[in-house]
Homo-oligomer: A and B are copies of this chain.
Amino acid sequence: MEFGIQFFPDVTPEEKSGAQYWTESLHLAGLCDAYGYSHVRTVEHYGHPYGGYSPNPVVFLAAAAERTRRARLVTGAILPVFNHPLKVAGEIGMLDAISGGRLDVGFARAFLPHEFRKFGRPLDESRARFDEGIAQVRALLETENVTMAGRFHSFENVTSLPRPTQRPRPPIWIAASSTDESFLAAGRNGYFVMTFPRAHKDIRRWLEMYRASWAEAGHPGRPKVMIAFHMFCAADRGYARALARPRVNAYLHSLVDASSDWGEGTTSKDYPNHPAMIEILKKANFDAQVANSTCWVGSPADLIAMIHAYHDAVGGIDIASLQVNFNTTTVTEAEASMRLFATDVMPAVAHLAPA
């Protein structure tokens, strides 16, 4: 099992300026190689404290590539629905070049109605734009002189530059969260999967479906699963939880606020489960997540136990992507937490792997 760090900004300008947030995040990214964190990851969101400081993950990751030599750079995730495939393919080529071939490209469908509204995109085009976008970007990365006539974008005889450093292209990850089809399609296409904690039995079932789908399609290599967790580690459990509780809850409130349209009558054929998901999200809280081992906050012994429990509950994952500076967590607090996790937790759980 590997551990990387994920930057998911969820602060207002009054809490932290963009300059402060990203300066602190770059400092933390710079600790990865020495501490043994295997990736740096960030999101794509817009115009709301929930993620909005990162409208293009490639921009931050280009800077983070300069603070690391070994860590992978992970887009978690690029949203094809809001981007032109020629831009996305070109930016992937640039970041893969700048990082010396350390890019992993995650794509997601997006799920916040306010973002679709800002870009004037119908929610009902979500899946079609996602499918077409990935197919077009993939073709632009893998081949030259590409001609494609799509429903949303068309182009003739384009060779995307720079050509990818990794051949035929960087690994592709798919963000899947709530439907069987997302996990099945990822396996069928030979993509890796990134997700976040849901009910253990659902995750276990989806991961089994994903791995079976991968095997059935006969792809070489092994499927990979990355799951995101909040993590805060300190010698004293009470201190860790007292600090992290309001911040994780603030993150969850920010997510609920950003998603609020789903609870106010918005529906879409492309998001059949989201109105129900928001109702579940509204009830989510720090203590419940700690209790079911999906919010990794506590002493090193607590976290070792939680990670084992989570492994047993879902059948094992390959990579945990840790939110280390969520909400108003200070850079000093995050650095100490990352260091303690690296020295006192990682060695005790690194052997865990999917069956």
Q: For the complex, give the distance between the alpha carbons of A91 and B83 in Å.
A: 13
CB distance from A207 to the nearest CB of B (A): 33
Specify which of B56, B91, B155, B161 is in contact with A90 (CB 8 Å cutoff).
B56
Specify which of B66, B96, B117, B156 is in contact with A63 (CB 8 Å cutoff).
B66
Q: For the complex, give the distance between the alpha carbons of A156 and B46 in Å.
A: 13
Chain B residues with Cβ under 8 A from A62's Cβ?
A: 59-60, 62-63
How many of A's residues come within 8 Å of B, CB to CB? Answer: 57
Specify which of B19, B26, B94, B162 is in contact with A165 (CB 8 Å cutoff).
B19
Chain B residues with Cβ under 8 A from A205's Cβ?
A: none
B94 and A83 contacting across the interface, CB-CB below 8 Å: no
Specify which of B67, B98, B156 is in contact with A59 (CB 8 Å cutoff).
B98
A17 and B165 contacting across the interface, CB-CB below 8 Å: yes
Chain B residues with Cβ under 8 A from A95's Cβ?
A: 59
- Most B-side CB within 10 Å, residue of A62, A119, A120, A160: A62
- Of the stretches A33-41, A47-55, A264-272, A338-346, the one at the interface is A47-55
Q: For the complex, give the distance between the alpha carbons of A55 and B159 in Å.
A: 12
Asked whether any CB of chain B lies closer than 8 Å to the CB of A82, the reply is yes
CB distance from A88 to the nearest CB of B (A): 9
Chain B residues with Cβ under 8 A from A52's Cβ?
A: 161-162
A53 and B162 contacting across the interface, CB-CB below 8 Å: yes
Asked whether any CB of chain B lies closer than 8 Å to the CB of A186, the reply is no
For A44, give the chain B residue with the smallest CB separation. B90
B56 and A87 contacting across the interface, CB-CB below 8 Å: yes
Specify which of B23, B60, B118, B153 is in contact with A100 (CB 8 Å cutoff).
B23
Chain B residues with Cβ under 8 A from A262's Cβ?
A: none
CB distance from A328 to the nearest CB of B (A): 16
CB distance from A102 to the nearest CB of B (A): 11
CB distance from A161 to the nearest CB of B (A): 4
Asked whether any CB of chain B lies closer than 8 Å to the CB of A137, the reply is no
Asked whether any CB of chain B lies closer than 8 Å to the CB of A163, the reply is yes
Asked whether any CB of chain B lies closer than 8 Å to the CB of A97, the reply is yes
Mask for A62-76, Cβ within 8 A of B = 1, else 0? 110111000000000
Asked whether any CB of chain B lies closer than 8 Å to the CB of A128, the reply is no
B56 and A101 contacting across the interface, CB-CB below 8 Å: no
B84 and A119 contacting across the interface, CB-CB below 8 Å: yes
16 A-B pairs (CB sep. < 8 Å): A9-B162, A17-B97, A18-B164, A19-B100, A19-B165, A22-B98, A22-B162, A52-B162, A53-B93, A55-B87, A56-B87, A58-B59, A59-B62, A60-B94, A60-B98, A87-B87
Give residues in A with beta carbon < 8 Å to B.
Answer: 9, 13, 17-19, 21-23, 26, 46-49, 52-56, 58-60, 62-63, 65-67, 82-84, 86-87, 90-91, 93-98, 100-101, 117-120, 153-156, 158-165
**Which A-B residue pairs are the 4 nearest by beta carbons?**
A18-B162, A55-B90, A18-B97, A66-B66
